[in-house]
Amino acid sequence: MLGVSQSTVSRAFSPTASISEKKRKMVMDAAAKLGYTPNAIARGLISNRSGLVAIALDSESNPMYDLQSRALALEIQRRGGQVVLCPIDKDDLDLAISRAIEYQVDGLIIATSRLTSRAFAQCEKFGVHLSLINRYAEGINANITGIDNQLAGKQAAEYLSRKGHRQLAYVSGDAGSMTSEERWRGFSSTLQALGLPSPIFIQAKYSFEAGLAAASEILGHGMKPDAIFCANDILAMGVMDGLRQKGAVIPQDYAVMGVDNIPMAAWPSYNLTTIAQPIDKIVKRTVEDLMNRINANQDAEGAYLFEEGTLIERGSV
């Protein structure tokens, strides 16, 4: 219709291609008139780059994950990518990854708790670039981003001791969760360095109900703690509600802290002092690093790209 070749049209849509401004405008105008849009599927087939980035996440809902994955998706879009969502059903990360690989995703961001070495092998084999977010794994071709968990534990310990608390307790996330273990490590070692009594460790899970149960355990504990640091906010809110059900008053009887700063932490019923995840920084860094690796087609250095959390003072301490 315009008497130009297919290549010229292709070039008009490629920002880096060498084409005269005149022709580009001509093509773009005609495209707008006809409602033409390049077919990203066909582009992917030839260029061997789909523009797709998959996000794998656990199928249980969690306000923190949801916030994070939405921010990730937005940032990926902003940088010209498209997001494939892979909720992991019945722990079947491998299946979800195979399906993503069928779609030739360029990159994969993993935010699920249960990782498998097969998944990593698959990605390696098919050249899918990998990022882990708030997860840990050794010896894989991936970079890791997230909040600095040890530091978060340290921040909590210092804050609570500064506020005059002496006998502290930690309510952990799921057994084997590295995020929880690192927070505990930073917390307990800092308390030791400060010369405070060693903190009580209460094994729990990343859920509200586990917090409720942990509260009973705390109330029945011989060594009554005066402040409780919880592995995340949901857990902390469960602890608060559990404590209150037995008549305790927060922060007079017990100070409570969490990690994440989910929106509900600001609600008056909880008014929870917490360490905020630097979501924006984490998301920007994750996506930038991943996209760079995709574009340069280079391996990950296995780097830990941690960002510092921010203590948010509210009324629960």
Partner DNA sequence: ATGAAAGCGCTAACAA
Partner DNA sequence: TTGTTAGCGCTTTCAT
Give, as ranges, the residues between 10 and 69 that touch DNA (CB under 7 A): 10-11, 13-14, 18-20, 22-23, 37-39, 42-43, 45-48
Q: Which of 86, 132, 157, 317 binds a copy of itself (CB under 8 A)?
A: 86
Reference 208, options 254, 240, 183; nearest CA is: 240
Q: Which of 7, 14, 25, 103 binds a copy of itself (CB under 8 A)?
A: 103
Shortest distance, CB of residue 199 to DNA, whole angstroms? 55
Shortest distance, CB of residue 121 to a copy of itself, whole angstroms? 9
Q: Which of 2, 17, 45, 194 binds a copy of itself (CB under 8 A)?
A: 45
Which of DNA, a copy of itself, none interacts with 23 (beta carbon under 5 to 8 A by kind)?
DNA
Q: Would you say 106 or 148 has its CB closer to a copy of itself?
A: 106
Q: Which of 8, 10, 98, 116 binds a copy of itself (CB under 8 A)?
A: 98
Residue 90 binds DNA, judged by CB under 7 A: no
Q: Would you say 46 or 249 has its CB closer to DNA?
A: 46
Contact map string, positions 46 to 85, toward a copy of itself, x by CB under 8 A: ----x-x--x---x-x-x--xx-xx--xx--xx---xxxx
Q: Would you say 148 or 233 has its CB closer to a copy of itself?
A: 233
User: Residues in the site for DNA, rule: CB under 7 A?
Assistant: 3-11, 13-14, 18-20, 22-23, 37-39, 42-43, 45-48
